[in-house]
Structure 1
Amino acid sequence: MGEGSPARDQRRGAYRAPAPSAQALVDWPESFGNRFSIFVDTEEEFDWGRPLQRESSETRAIAALPRLHRRFAERGVPSVYLVDYPVAADPAAVETIAALIAEDGRSTVGTQLHPWVMPPFEEEVNGFNSFAGNLPEALERAKLTLLTETIAKAFGAPPLIYRAGRYGIGPRTAGLLAELGYRIDSSMRSAYDYSAEGGPDFTAIRNAAFRFGPGDALVELPLTTIFTGRLRKAGAGLFHALGRVPHARGVAARLGLLSRVALTPEDMPIADALEAIRIAAGEGERLLNFSYHSPSAEPGHTPYVRDAADLAAFDRWWDSALDLLDRLGFRPASQADLIAAACGKGAASANAPGAGGL
């Protein structure tokens, strides 16, 4: 896969994703052009400020997705809905999402694993176990297998894209995904480090897509992170060094020296995101991977959309980002587009409408 092998920090138990080798990087075909994707963490509602609970499994906010979905669809932008177990097991939620997919013909469904609400329930609910890659291999396999089967039954085709909830990929996850027929993983969040919580460390991961796993069977599409500011060339190394000094990251951002910008409307000001998109375009990024959480489609479920004013700002964020992407020549990419370009056209056709696809 790259420089070194998957490793765990024995002191903290964290999985450290190694940087991919140059040979593992995906060489997007010229015909692919410059693209962007939108992945939606499609999940239950829970209190983000309280400890995780198995009982938090309501999916009322799914009913708010059609309004937002149609805003994207009107602009020809498909979504990949990465659904977790409470969503896939709720007939009303499945009906809503399936109707949206049928309506625009390009959106699709993938998988997201929240282990604390995913049977079998054998582990203690705590922060460490909320990262699925920390679970014993047999339990991670059991949860992932049942979730994959549930999604395939609910939506009529096996999912091909996976994201671990809380970005909690582990050293055995790629092998399990390959066994189950997945083609793309998007669990890695470029330049982020969750090891202080017992989660994975993606400090070595940049934005470029790469092949990994057994026999390079999978393609990793990291969530895009762009560094902005006068010292942005120093990137992740300087950012993580600043994290060892109290308030240093905030000072660097306020002085216009260095900011870390993820491509999401959740806690990322639009001015910062637009600057990040411009930098990414100027530096030749071929694929920008955006995301948001489905409960943000309705006020009151996430800290990012608390009321009607926040929801209006959320809509404006997307309008501004999509306008800029259009001006810069970035076209939206569907699951089929991504798989055809990264894995070959034969791989894409296995999940196409009429061939058991979503």
Structure 2
Amino acid sequence: MREIKFVLSIDTEEEWDWEGPFPNRVISVENVSHLSTFQRQVRGMGLRPTYFLDYAVIENEYSRQILADLYKSEPEIEYGAHLHPWVTPPVVHAGSEASSHIVNLPMDTVSAQLRSLTKAIENVTGQKPTSFRSGRWGITDPILQELAKQGYLVDSSIYPFYETEWFSCADYDSWPLTMSHLGTTPELIELPVTAGFNHRPFGKAQSLHQTLEKPEWARFRVIGALWALRLHRKIYLSPELSSARDMIALCKQMLETDCPVIHMYLHSSSLLPGSTRYVQSESDKSRLMMRIEKVVNFLRSQCHLKAETITNAALGLRERGELKAHDENTVCSGLSQLVFRD
């Protein structure tokens, strides 16, 4: 059976109402107390998670101790960096959606915040983190170059087939990329989360989706009708967003493309019922865990699944020659196509 690497990453962060203001002052990290139980559950599934830590969970003495104890007791996990600019020194008080995205901040601010976050994680683990994901997604070449300068090896900030008012990852698929075009040492690897559709080719499916989102089509609610008929579904490999059935449908398509890695993600705050709109009760939380297990069991029935942390997976893919070049000839087009708006 063909070997496929499996990465499970968790954005480990404060909890707040994602529809409300950013938590610049009152910051709760109660969800971190649920990580030990979660870790036992996913370890029982044979998984090796990567926890992307933001500054809020390290700054808090209570959650920092939990994370330190977890790291000591679980040698096969990885702690990466997750930058929320509204909690990371020098703090940028996020009074608007735009200021919550690091792609909209001055590079000297991003560099300083990255140094603060990197040092804070190093104080917990005794070593510098090697993987990074921006808070709320989005990345630029200058930020990637700064990551390499500060010793990072892997980025996971590109959110395939997604765009906002400030950046677009709409032309990216989930294939891992070598970022050699940046000319950095070390050479960065991009390992996005897995996203796509329940039919291929993904490029044409994305074009259809973008067309149907335009105002002249959106008023007819065609996307909703196609979703209900299971004819066209955009799916993200997250147990928060997608059912086990939809995630398995996506995995089937990914396996047929010969993609060498499957990358699932979620937020730590979903482990505390009531903290996110995805998990409001203990039964919702049980459903979330069941979704993870069903997807993992399906993949194991189809391939030799090798669960790894994100850095180990990325370096292994490079060693096996399974990274795509980051150029304009692939669906994962060059970062010049990753458009950022003021």
TM-score bracket for this pair, using the shorter chain length: 0.7 to 0.9
- For the residues of structure 2 that align with 1:183 and 1:301, how far apart are their CA atoms? 32
Structure 1 residues 260 and 153: alpha-carbon distance in aligned structure 2, compared to 1, 3 A threshold = same
Q: Answer with 271-280 or 335-344: which moved more.
A: 335-344
Deviations 1:13-52 (A, max 9, x none): xxxxxxxxxxxxxxxxx9x931110110000011112121
- For the residues of structure 2 that align with 1:272 and 1:343, how far apart are their CA atoms? 29
Deviation at 1:69, TM superposition (A): 1.0
Q: Residue 338 of structure 1 is aligned with which of 306, 310, 313?
A: 313
- The answer to whether 1:114 aligns with 2:84 is yes
Give the letter for the 2:138 counterpart.
G
Contact 2:193 2:264 in 1 (8 A): yes
| SS of structure 1 residue aligned to 2:173 | coil
Structure 1 residues 253 and 157: alpha-carbon distance in aligned structure 2, compared to 1, 3 A threshold = same
Contact 1:231 1:257 in 2 (8 A): no
Structure 1 residues 121 and 238: alpha-carbon distance in aligned structure 2, compared to 1, 3 A threshold = same
User: For 1:8-27, what aligned pairs fall within 5 Å after superposition?
Assistant: none
Structure 1 residues 275 and 122: alpha-carbon distance in aligned structure 2, compared to 1, 3 A threshold = closer
Give the letter for the 1:210 counterpart.
L
Contact 1:41 1:82 in 2 (8 A): yes
Q: Residue 192 of structure 2 is aligned with which of 190, 198, 222?
A: 222
Q: Answer with 243-252 or 159-168: which moved more.
A: 243-252
Residue number in structure 2 paired with 1:22: none
Deviation at 1:92, TM superposition (A): 2.4
- For the residues of structure 1 that align with 2:139 and 2:203, how far apart are their CA atoms? 28
Residue number in structure 1 paired with 2:257: 283
Contact 1:45 1:56 in 2 (8 A): no
- For the residues of structure 2 that align with 1:257 and 1:301, how far apart are their CA atoms? 33
- For the residues of structure 2 that align with 1:233 and 1:43, how far apart are their CA atoms? 33
- The answer to whether 1:147 aligns with 2:117 is yes
Residue number in structure 2 paired with 1:103: 73
Deviation at 1:182, TM superposition (A): 0.3
- The answer to whether 1:88 aligns with 2:58 is yes
| SS of structure 1 residue aligned to 2:183 | helix
Residue number in structure 2 paired with 1:316: 290
Give the letter for the 1:34 counterpart.
I
Q: TM-score, normalised by structure 2?
A: 0.86
Give the letter for the 1:214 counterpart.
L
Contact 1:207 1:222 in 2 (8 A): yes
Deviation at 1:294, TM superposition (A): 0.3
| SS of structure 2 residue aligned to 1:266 | coil
Residue number in structure 1 paired with 2:331: none
Residue number in structure 1 paired with 2:338: none
- For the residues of structure 2 that align with 1:249 and 1:119, how far apart are their CA atoms? 42
Deviation at 1:143, TM superposition (A): 1.0
Deviation at 1:230, TM superposition (A): 7.7
**Structure 2 unaligned blocks of 5 or more:** 321-342
- For the residues of structure 1 that align with 2:204 and 2:162, how far apart are their CA atoms? 15
User: For 1:121-136, what aligned pairs fall within 5 Å after superposition?
Assistant: 121-122=91-92, 125-136=95-106
- For the residues of structure 2 that align with 1:344 and 1:159, how far apart are their CA atoms? 20
Residue number in structure 2 paired with 1:349: none
| SS of structure 2 residue aligned to 1:166 | coil
Contact 1:61 1:297 in 2 (8 A): yes
Deviation at 1:145, TM superposition (A): 1.2
Give the letter for the 1:184 counterpart.
V
| SS of structure 1 residue aligned to 2:22 | coil
Structure 1 residue ranges (4+ consecutive) displaced by more than 3 angstroms after TM superposition: 229-233, 342-345
- For the residues of structure 2 that align with 1:54 and 1:154, how far apart are their CA atoms? 23
Give the letter for the 1:158 counterpart.
K
Aligned residues: 312
Q: Residue 45 of structure 2 is aligned with which of 61, 71, 75?
A: 75
Q: TM-score, normalised by structure 1?
A: 0.82
Q: Answer with 119-128 or 54-63: which moved more.
A: 119-128
- For the residues of structure 1 that align with 2:281 and 2:246, how far apart are their CA atoms? 22
Deviation at 1:232, TM superposition (A): 5.6
Contact 1:229 1:256 in 2 (8 A): no
Contact 1:178 1:214 in 2 (8 A): no
| SS of structure 2 residue aligned to 1:115 | coil
- The answer to whether 1:208 aligns with 2:175 is yes
Identity %: 25
* CA RMSD, Structure 1 to Structure 2 (Å): 2.1
Residue number in structure 2 paired with 1:185: 155
- For the residues of structure 2 that align with 1:189 and 1:335, how far apart are their CA atoms? 16
Deviation at 1:123, TM superposition (A): 5.4
Contact 1:191 1:205 in 2 (8 A): yes
Contact 1:162 1:182 in 2 (8 A): yes
**Structure 1 unaligned blocks of 5 or more:** 1-29, 346-358
- For the residues of structure 2 that align with 1:218 and 1:265, how far apart are their CA atoms? 28
| SS of structure 2 residue aligned to 1:207 | coil
- For the residues of structure 2 that align with 1:335 and 1:223, how far apart are their CA atoms? 10
Deviations 1:192-214 (A, max 9, x none): 112x2x2x200111111112263
